Chain A
Amino acid sequence: MKVIKIDKNDWTRGIDKSRETYQLFGPVTDKNQSVFKQLGKDAYPEMGRTDTIMSPKSVLFPQTEKILTASLDESVENHHIMQMPETDTTPRAVIGIRPYDAKAVQLVKLNFDTPEYRDTYWCDAYEATTFVGLAVNQPSASDFSTSMGSGPFAEEGLDLLLVDLDDHYLAKVLTPKGETFLDGAGFNGTADTDASLKTIQGMKEAAEAAITSLVPTDKLKEKSLLDLHGAPFWEDTAFSCINCGTCTFVCPTCWCFDIQDETKGKSTSRFRNWDSCMSPLFTMHGSGHNPRGEKTQRVRQRFMHKLKYFLDKYDQGSMCVGCGRCVEKCPVNIDIRSICNTMNSYEPQK
């Protein structure tokens, strides 16, 4: 295990140097809000910012992505044949990604990179990306990542973990990709590895202890899927839901998309756009039948997928990393923590 010390005075120089090899993404302020964006030439990641509204999932999975194109001009060779557009797979680096968001990428990977199917667009982007994480020294009140198999200093899915120590960062090298990034940026300050790891461990424990939001998940696995599905609490849980897509769009693990074709003149393109299981349209069949036509069914679907179906299918924890974005942003304050609690403690009436 290698640890590098990065003096904050060298930070901007290193970031600039890394631009020679990488397209950079990071948290920036846009109209008073913190968002993850591709960084322009003069922009630097704002490492001190609180959590971003939107997760960095769009770096690998843009909200609108062109996946195929074709020409409708019959004088052109291969007209009407869909082809992959040119995609950019040059190296990119996500700077300042939170540990729970990096864990989320690993969960999404289970869906886009399977033994049977490989989603070229997502996987190519994933392979091109280096994840430079920033440990969370002061977790927010709605952060419940430690309950969801992640945590403020969790390393899963990261290539590098930066730990902020006021005047410098300690960079824990987790993968060869991480090491390459440090080389590319010219960060090579040596640190006493044992002492640094000890410091990081101490800060990790303090940060984990600072998380006040603890959500029990221990019984979800043993609960019967059908009992939970038929539980009476969904009606009341769903009452206030207005069926917007906020929770699904801000969620770092929501991966569903819709396919749309658009034609202009002689050129046509196929896009995929983020979709949301909160929308009645999501499950509308061509026949007109809608298996999830009622709001309660849709709300149940979202939480059952996150906390039960996913767990049963992959046995890799739940499909929630505890970032707290949906808790903060839901217009009607539907709180996944309370619902998880209810599900975890649910006993069917005999």
Chain B
Amino acid sequence: MGNLLEHMGIEKDRLHFSWISSAEATKFVDVVTKVSEAVNALGPNHKLVKNAG
């Protein structure tokens, strides 16, 4: 799924997969930080966003 999204032009860093146990608080914080940094670096997403309404 990630590969196909990337293939059609969604930046790879916008989609993250992770496996975190409820006991792994530090890992959770670590992953969330990394995800937000990666997404922040890319800036706002305009793709697959519907404007009509």
Contacts and interface: CB of A to CB of B under 8 A. Distances in A.
Contact between chain A and chain B defined by CB under 8 Å: yes
A267 B52 CA distance: 9
Q: Which of B50, B51, B53 lies at the interface centre, i.e. has the most chain A CB atoms within 10 A of its CB?
A: B53
Main DSSP-derived SS at the B contact region: loop
Contacts of A269: 52-53
A211 to B, nearest CB: 43
A333 interface: no
Contacts of A267: 53
Interface in B1-53: 50-53
A265 B52 CA distance: 10
Interface size class of A (residues with CB under 8 A): under 10
Top 4 A-B pairs, shortest CB-CB distance: A264-B53, A267-B53, A262-B53, A263-B53
A34 interface: no
B53 to A, nearest CB: 3
Contacts of A265: 53
Contacts of A268: 53
A264 B49 CA distance: 11
A269 B50 CA distance: 13
A264 B53 CA distance: 5
B48 to A, nearest CB: 14
Nearest to B50: A264
A78 to B, nearest CB: 18
Contacts of A264: 50-53
A269 B53 CA distance: 6
A262 B50 CA distance: 11
A267 B50 CA distance: 13
Contacts of B53: 262-265, 267-269
B52 to A, nearest CB: 7
Contacts of B51: 264
Interface string A252-290: 000000000011110111000000000000000000000
A248 to B, nearest CB: 24
A316 B52 CA distance: 40
A265 B51 CA distance: 10
Interface string A164-207: 00000000000000000000000000000000000000000000
Nearest to A64: B52
Nearest to A271: B52
A62 to B, nearest CB: 13
Contacts of A262: 52-53
A63 to B, nearest CB: 14
Nearest to B52: A262
